[in-house]
């Protein structure tokens, strides 16, 4: 039986869940939007972008051929880009459409089940122009790029190297005679590979290449390079470009390859904010920090924390709503089958996903604010805070993407067989988010960057030198006793910090031992990298836990009592969950006892039951319109079985009663005539 709610027929189980939710859902939406005004503005943007139906496809993307999928994605990208230049720019208060506005980004997702071929234009090409050009270069390139007169991408990775940027092989050799750079791909492994939109869409790209001038190599630098004719779109002479083929996801992003055959570009096309080549070929270093050319990657790592939080919010919305309407098994023979959301194991799978989406969303806002502060200082020539920020953004990118991918997969498990349907929405979310763990810096590689910083900070703490804020807890690492366990939220956060400090100390001790035994510093480091990754992970978990807790306390200071309670329950759940995941480490580095851990497990299970009545309310508070979810299982009305059947009937396989394969293969085989 179904009920009607706001002219919508709603599944009765979902209606019941909404009736029993005991907190004000809208209040929580406002918290995560950053205030009521932002919620209203977001809704207005979503209304303008989505009410016209322009985001919808006549035939589901999943039934299209690769070529049709790509063309359809370009079609919708053009519609959305035009909206951004016109209606949405004004509404979002942006002079021109914003590259990092989470609302614009969020709304764009309604248009694409996978991704837009313009993602790299907005996500990296435009930010590189903003971050790596001189003011004169910017005034030439930025208006054209923002107005989409040119479309670009970011081509750094090569067939042979993605992680090790210093190992890139593409060369840019300056020729003072003509005042040009000659771009060349000397080997197969030097071909650019992966850049989004490069295959068919873009006509420009940022190319990262080894700069040679006056016979000397100055390392990798960015260049802006035209690769296709601005009118015909035909690749220019000296350019070999194409699409790299099917992938696990990102199949509408036309990731491409690119090679150069002594291809010439004007001197002014080197992006010269951080380093310059003068007309006579003299190389001039401008930046005070050697790694500022990596700036766009740092920007995207910051953006990605928000991006994956959003995608995890979508997966948890789908899985929690579905778990409320799905009934399975009969533990009590005289009662009706329970909603699967009533199983404690199901709550264990799902509530951590909601809490993590909250934690990452709040960390992303905090990280963005820290990034803005670092950029402001760098404008004044001060790069002192950059090493700490690089360490922080590296580990947050690594952990947020990895946790989100894992939890999205867990949401799929929570949806049983139906979660495996493309129409559930979860496979596309997983395919997208699992790539974020690799691109923009692989998980392990980025955690090792953070570990480098931790080891240095540990040595500073040992020498009683001042520490930067995110590692200040290392100062307590030398007390000689194990941290005292206490199961209050602050106590657990202190234990997480003790754990990170303890693991870092173990790494430093082991490396020193290995070096005393004759290993070089590089080999001693290499032998310790499993533990260094674990130390960086522990550090990141301590940062996330601390930030999440502090931000929730701050943001709910004036909230209604029930909102305060449910938000407190979720942060506590997050802390208990990770304490229970790390019992071995806690036993090593804190005074926690076996009894403390048994008690903590019971407290965790009781907390799940307390959160249970509010579960649907909590995911409703993400306020994700059906157009954004693309899900038969997660729609607001819970008409799951109806939608699954409607989608199945759309399959082109159901167009004819008998498949051609019957007469071609099955019949001859069955009649023994094959």
Ligand X SMILES: Cc1cc2nc3c(=O)[nH]c(=O)nc-3n(C[C@H](O)[C@H](O)[C@H](O)COP(=O)(O)OP(=O)(O)OC[C@H]3O[C@@H](n4cnc5c(N)ncnc54)[C@H](O)[C@@H]3O)c2cc1C
Ligand Y SMILES: CCCCCCCCCCCCCCCCCC(=O)SCCNC(=O)CCNC(=O)[C@H](O)C(C)(C)COP(=O)(O)OP(=O)(O)OC[C@H]1O[C@@H](n2cnc3c(N)ncnc32)[C@H](O)[C@@H]1OP(=O)(O)O
Binding track over 131-170 against ligand Y, x by CB under 6 A: -----------------------x-xx----xxxxx----
- Establish if 387 lies at the interface with ligand Y (CB under 6 A): yes
Q: Give which of ligand Y, ligand X, none residue 390 binds (C-beta under 5 to 8 Å, depending on kind).
A: ligand Y
Q: Smaller CB distance to ligand X: residue 14 or 155?
A: 155
Binding track over 233-252 against ligand X, x by CB under 6 A: -----------------x--
- Establish if 291 lies at the interface with ligand Y (CB under 6 A): yes
CB-CB contact of 295 with 132 (8 Å): yes
Strand-pairing partners, residue 10, are 3
- Establish if 368 lies at the interface with ligand Y (CB under 6 A): no
Q: Identify which of 366, 399, 439 has the alpha carbon closest to the alpha carbon of residue 536.
A: 399
Pairing assessment for the beta strands 256-260 and 192-193 based on DSSP bridges? antiparallel
Q: Smaller CB distance to ligand X: residue 385 or 393?
A: 393
- Closest-by-Cβ residue to ligand Y is 123
- Establish if 154 lies at the interface with ligand X (CB under 6 A): yes
C-alpha–C-alpha distance, residues 629 and 637, integer Å: 13
Q: Smaller CB distance to ligand X: residue 286 or 530?
A: 530
Give Cβ neighbours of residue 543 (< 8 Å, ≥ 6 apart). Answer: 363, 392, 395, 396, 470
Q: Give which of ligand X, ligand Y, none residue 355 binds (C-beta under 5 to 8 Å, depending on kind).
A: none
Among 265, 396, 435, 575, binds ligand X (CB under 6 A): 435
Give Cβ neighbours of residue 642 (< 8 Å, ≥ 6 apart). Answer: none
Would you call 440 a catalytic residue per the annotation?
Answer: yes
Which of the ranges 190-198, 238-246, 470-478, 641-649 carries the binding residues for ligand X, by CB under 6 A?
190-198
CB neighbours of residue 284 within 10 Å = 9
Min separation Cβ 131 and ligand X, Å: 16
Site size toward ligand X, by CB under 6 A: 23
Give Cβ neighbours of residue 354 (< 8 Å, ≥ 6 apart). Answer: 316, 320, 570, 615, 618, 619
C-alpha–C-alpha distance, residues 622 and 643, integer Å: 22
3-state helix, strand, coil in the chain (%, to 5): 60, 10, 30
Q: Give which of ligand Y, ligand X, none residue 250 binds (C-beta under 5 to 8 Å, depending on kind).
A: ligand X
Q: Smaller CB distance to ligand X: residue 253 or 563?
A: 253
Among 201, 274, 423, 449, binds ligand Y (CB under 6 A): 449
- Establish if 251 lies at the interface with ligand Y (CB under 6 A): no
- Alpha helices by DSSP H, listed for 267-380, are 295-325, 344-379
Which of the ranges 272-280, 293-301, 368-376, 585-593 carries the binding residues for ligand Y, by CB under 6 A?
293-301
DSSP 328: -
C-alpha–C-alpha distance, residues 434 and 308, integer Å: 10
Binding track over 447-486 against ligand X, x by CB under 6 A: -x--------------------------------------
Which of the ranges 37-45, 193-201, 403-411, 647-655 carries the binding residues for ligand X, by CB under 6 A?
193-201
Among 196, 199, 222, 259, binds ligand X (CB under 6 A): 196
Phi first, then psi, for residue 583 (nearest 5°) are -60, -40
Among 33, 403, 440, 620, binds ligand Y (CB under 6 A): 440
Q: Give which of ligand Y, ligand X, none residue 364 binds (C-beta under 5 to 8 Å, depending on kind).
A: none
Which of the ranges 406-414, 433-441, 489-497, 638-646 carries the binding residues for ligand X, by CB under 6 A?
433-441
C-alpha–C-alpha distance, residues 249 and 51, integer Å: 28
Q: Smaller CB distance to ligand X: residue 440 or 623?
A: 440
DSSP 241: E
Q: Give which of ligand X, ligand Y, none residue 452 binds (C-beta under 5 to 8 Å, depending on kind).
A: ligand Y
- Establish if 457 lies at the interface with ligand Y (CB under 6 A): no
Among 122, 305, 355, 414, binds ligand Y (CB under 6 A): 122
Q: Smaller CB distance to ligand X: residue 540 or 607?
A: 540
Give Cβ neighbours of residue 6 (< 8 Å, ≥ 6 apart). Answer: none
C-alpha–C-alpha distance, residues 288 and 297, integer Å: 18
C-alpha–C-alpha distance, residues 412 and 396, integer Å: 24
Q: Smaller CB distance to ligand Y: residue 449 or 571?
A: 449
- Establish if 48 lies at the interface with ligand Y (CB under 6 A): no
The full DSSP string for 342-359 is GSHHHHHHHHHHHHHHHH
Q: Three-class SS of residue 384? A: coil
Binding track over 529-568 against ligand Y, x by CB under 6 A: ----------------------------------------
Among 439, 519, 564, 568, binds ligand Y (CB under 6 A): 439
Give Cβ neighbours of residue 266 (< 8 Å, ≥ 6 apart). Answer: 179, 180, 181
Catalytic residue chosen out of the listed positions 61, 440, 537, 551: 440
Q: Give which of ligand X, ligand Y, none residue 155 binds (C-beta under 5 to 8 Å, depending on kind).
A: ligand X
- Establish if 378 lies at the interface with ligand Y (CB under 6 A): no
C-alpha–C-alpha distance, residues 334 and 600, integer Å: 33
Q: Give which of ligand X, ligand Y, none residue 367 binds (C-beta under 5 to 8 Å, depending on kind).
A: none
CB-CB contact of 172 with 181 (8 Å): yes
C-alpha–C-alpha distance, residues 545 and 358, integer Å: 11
Q: Identify which of 500, 569, 560 has the alpha carbon closest to the alpha carbon of residue 535.
A: 500
> Residue 155: exposed, middle, or buried by beta-carbon count in 10 A (0-12, 13-18, 19+)?
buried
Binding site for ligand Y (CB under 6 A): 77, 80, 99, 105, 108, 116, 118-119, 122-124, 154, 156-157, 162-166, 196, 291, 294, 297-298, 300, 303, 307, 386-387, 390, 439-441, 445, 449, 452
- Catalytic amino acids? 440
Residues that bind ligand X (CB under 6 A): 120, 153-157, 161-163, 194-196, 250, 255, 435, 438-442, 444-445, 448
């Amino acid at each position: 039986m179904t009920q009607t709610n706001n002219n919508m027929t709603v599944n009765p189980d979902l209606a019941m869940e909404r009736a029993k939710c005991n907190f004000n859902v809208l209040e929580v939406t406002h918290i995560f939007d950053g205030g009521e005004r932002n919620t209203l503005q977001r809704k207005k943007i979503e209304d303008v972008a989505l009410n016209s139906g322009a985001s919808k496809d006549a035939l589901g993307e999943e039934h299209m051929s690769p070529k049709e999928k790509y063309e359809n994605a370009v079609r919708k990208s053009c519609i959305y880009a035009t909206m951004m230049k016109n209606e949405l720019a004004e509404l979002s208060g942006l002079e021109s459409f914003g590259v990092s506005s989470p609302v614009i980004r969020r709304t764009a997702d309604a248009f694409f089940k996978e991704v837009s071929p313009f993602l790299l234009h907005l996500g990296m090409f435009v930010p590189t122009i903003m971050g790596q050009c001189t003011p004169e270069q910017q005034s030439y390139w930025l208006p054209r790029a923002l107005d989409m007169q040119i479309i670009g991408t970011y081509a750094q990775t090569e067939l042979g190297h993605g992680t090790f940027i210093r190992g890139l092989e593409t060369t840019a050799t300056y020729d003072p005679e003509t005042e040009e750079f000659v771009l060349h791909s000397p080997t197969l492994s030097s071909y650019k590979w992966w850049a989004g939109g490069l295959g068919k869409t873009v006509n420009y790209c940022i190319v990262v290449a080894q700069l040679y001038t006056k016979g000397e190599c100055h390392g990798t630098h960015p260049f802006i390079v035209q690769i296709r004719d601005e009118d015909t779109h035909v690749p220019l002479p000296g350019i070999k470009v194409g699409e790299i083929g099917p992938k696990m996801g990102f199949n509408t992003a036309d990731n491409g390859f690119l090679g150069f055959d002594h291809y010439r570009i004007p001197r002014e096309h080197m992006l010269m904010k951080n380093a310059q080549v003068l007309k006579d070929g003299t190389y001039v270093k401008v930046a005070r920090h050697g790694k500022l050319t990596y700036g766009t990657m740092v920007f995207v790592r910051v953006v990605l924390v928000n991006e994956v939080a959003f995608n995890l919010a979508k997966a948890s919305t789908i899985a929690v709503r579905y778990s409320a309407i799905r009934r399975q098994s009969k533990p009590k023979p005289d009662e009706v089958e329970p909603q699967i959301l009533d199983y404690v194991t199901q709550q264990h799978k799902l509530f951590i996903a909601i809490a993590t989406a909250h934690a990452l969303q709040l960390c992303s806002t905090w990280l963005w604010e820290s990034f803005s502060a670092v950029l402001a200082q760098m404008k004044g020539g001060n790069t002192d805070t950059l090493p700490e920020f690089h360490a922080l953004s590296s580990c947050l990118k690594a952990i947020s993407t990895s946790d989100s991918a894992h939890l999205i997969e867990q949401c799929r498990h929570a949806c049983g067989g139906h979660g495996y349907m493309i129409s559930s929405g979860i496979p596309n979310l997983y395919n997208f988010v699992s790539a974020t763990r690799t691109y923009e810096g692989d998980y392990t590689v980025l955690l090792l960057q953070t570990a480098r910083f931790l080891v240095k900070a540990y040595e500073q703490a040992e020498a009683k030198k001042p520490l930067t804020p995110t590692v200040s807890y290392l100062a307590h690492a030398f007390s000689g006793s194990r941290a005292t366990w206490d199961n209050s939220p602050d106590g657990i956060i202190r234990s997480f910090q003790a754990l990170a400090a303890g693991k870092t100390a173990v790494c430093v001790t082991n490396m020193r031992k290995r070096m005393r035994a004759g290993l070089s510093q590089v080999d001693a480091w290499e032998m310790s990298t499993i533990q260094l990754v674990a130390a960086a992970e522990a550090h990141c978990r301590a940062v996330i836990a601390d930030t999440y807790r502090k931000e929730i306390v701050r943001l709910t200071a004036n909230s209604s009592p029930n909102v305060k309670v449910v938000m407190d329950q979720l942060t506590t759940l997050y802390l208990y969950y990770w304490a229970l995941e790390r019992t071995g480490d806690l036993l090593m580095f804190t005074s926690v006892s076996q009894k403390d851990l048994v008690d903590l497990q019971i407290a965790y299970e009781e907390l799940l039951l307390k959160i249970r009545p509010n579960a649907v309310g909590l995911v409703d508070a993400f306020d994700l319109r059906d157009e954004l979810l693309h899900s038969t299982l997660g729609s607001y009305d819970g008409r799951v079985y109806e939608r699954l059947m409607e989608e199945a009937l759309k399959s082109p396989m159901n167009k004819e009663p008998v498949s051609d394969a019957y007469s071609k293969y099955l019949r001859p085989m069955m009649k023994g005539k094959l």
